Amino acid sequence: MTSAKVSSKELKLYNDLGDLQFLWGLGLREDEAECCDVYGLDEELLEMVPKPVLAVLFLYPITTQSEEERLQ
């Protein structure tokens, strides 16, 4: 089996307009930046992230269970 290098654009899982609208609401112009998914922090996965990186946002759902675990 041969392995082909896959670009980050091919691996996008979703494109959540809500995430972009949040950034625009903070004052970021639509043409200033783009969002992409980061699949892990090991070197091979980070190579897929377009450069330069200006910021990293961790987005995750807050649930009742996650809040209970946070408060413990």
- pLDDT per residue over 16-71, tens digit each? 667 678 778 888 888 887 778 888 889 999 999 999 988 887 777 889 999 999 99
pLDDT at residue 30, as a whole number: 82
- Mapped onto helix, strand or coil, the DSSP state of residue 12 is coil
Q: Report the distance separating Cα 72 and Cα 68, nearest Å.
A: 7
pTM of the model: 0.50
Q: Report the distance separating Cα 9 and Cα 14, nearest Å.
A: 11
15 confidence band (pLDDT: 50, 70, 90) = low
